[in-house]
């Protein structure tokens, strides 16, 4: 029987976006059905395999999206969202594969389910781009999304603090306004995609928060203080309002965590 770590590594090293989606969902399905061995016998790659396109640019080199209502602006929006979800597949896979051996089985259950969700999100967004006459890879994309994984590769608590509890939580803040803008353009299909993603991302933040809180308590640490210390050490940006407090609270991420260090 193949080990779960080996299956995850193969998915991470799959460069083609559609094939990576299939691989991520296949790993999650085989794990759920008991067809993968609980064994962490291989290490995870420092970087996943990615396609030649999109060209990855530093944040300060990213072109402006243009006006949101223009065809160019709409394509740029959906392309940026697709890139976020594509990298999110690898972030979830790496979480399960890199740290699963030191956590319990529910940790692997949870983050492989997240990887499958992210693969589904990417597929929806890729289909949206194609309906607009474009495709993933047609535009440049943000190069910095994997940096959080590199910076937290040695500490599961830091990875949980930064990826689900900062980066994905930020998605809870910004998606509602994007949804309003998309719906105002008469794009009900796009609005339904964003609603689905938002619902799933609340669950993803909740998963990260649950495992972080359990880990902090096992270390006899205050979850809120431990999270704040890790964010100050590992997050290069700033936590900026406005916050979607209700969605964050639904995910278990109360203002006790972020209120004191938000700008």
Q: Where are the domains of the chain?
A: 1-38+65-142, 143-263
> Residue 69 — pLDDT band, cuts 50, 70, 90?
low
Q: Give yes or no for a cis peptide into 242 (omega within 30° of 0).
A: yes
Phi–psi pair at 73, nearest 5 degrees: -65, -40
Rounded to whole angstroms, the Cα distance separating 169 from 28 reads 23
CATH number of 1-38+65-142: 1.20.120
Arithmetic mean of pLDDT, 137-143: 92
> Which pLDDT value is given to residue 24?
98
Terminal-residue alpha carbon distance, the chain: 50
Residue 212 is predicted with a pLDDT of 98
Whether residue 38 contacts residue 5, with contact meaning beta carbons closer than 8 Å, is answered with no
Phi and psi dihedrals of 238, rounded to 5? -125, 150
What pLDDT score does 7 carry?
98
Tens-digit pLDDT profile for residues 144-175: 889 999 999 999 999 999 999 999 999 999 99
pTM across the whole model: 0.96
The per-residue pLDDT for 92 is: 98
């Amino acid at each position: 029987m193949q080990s779960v770590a080996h299956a995850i590594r193969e998915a991470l090293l799959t460069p083609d976006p559609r094939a990576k989606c299939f691989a991520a969902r296949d790993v999650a399905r085989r794990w759920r059905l008991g067809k993968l061995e609980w064994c962490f016998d291989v290490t995870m790659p420092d970087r996943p395999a990615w396609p030649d396109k999109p060209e990855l640019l530093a944040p300060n080199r990213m072109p402006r999206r243009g006006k949101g209502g223009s065809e160019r602006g709409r394509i740029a929006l959906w392309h940026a969202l697709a890139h976020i979800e594509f990298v999110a597949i690898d972030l979830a896979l790496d979480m399960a594969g890199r740290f699963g051996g030191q956590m319990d089985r529910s940790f692997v259950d949870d983050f492989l389910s997240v990887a499958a969700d992210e693969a589904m999100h990417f597929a929806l967004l890729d289909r949206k781009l194609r309906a607009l006459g474009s495709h993933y890879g047609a535009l440049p994309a943000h190069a910095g999304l994997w940096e959080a994984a590199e910076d937290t590769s040695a500490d599961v608590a830091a990875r949980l603090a930064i990826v689900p509890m900062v980066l994905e939580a930020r998605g809870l803040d910004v998606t509602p306004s994007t949804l309003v803008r998309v719906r105002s353009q008469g794009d009900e299909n796009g609005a339904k995609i964003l609603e689905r993603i938002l619902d799933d991302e609340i669950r993803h933040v909740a998963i990260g928060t649950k495992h972080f809180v359990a880990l902090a308590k096992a270390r006899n640490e205050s979850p809120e203080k431990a999270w704040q210390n890790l964010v100050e050490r590992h997050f290069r940006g700033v936590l900026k309002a406005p916050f979607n407090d209700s969605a964050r609270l639904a995910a278990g991420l109360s203002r006790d965590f972020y209120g004191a260090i938000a700008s």
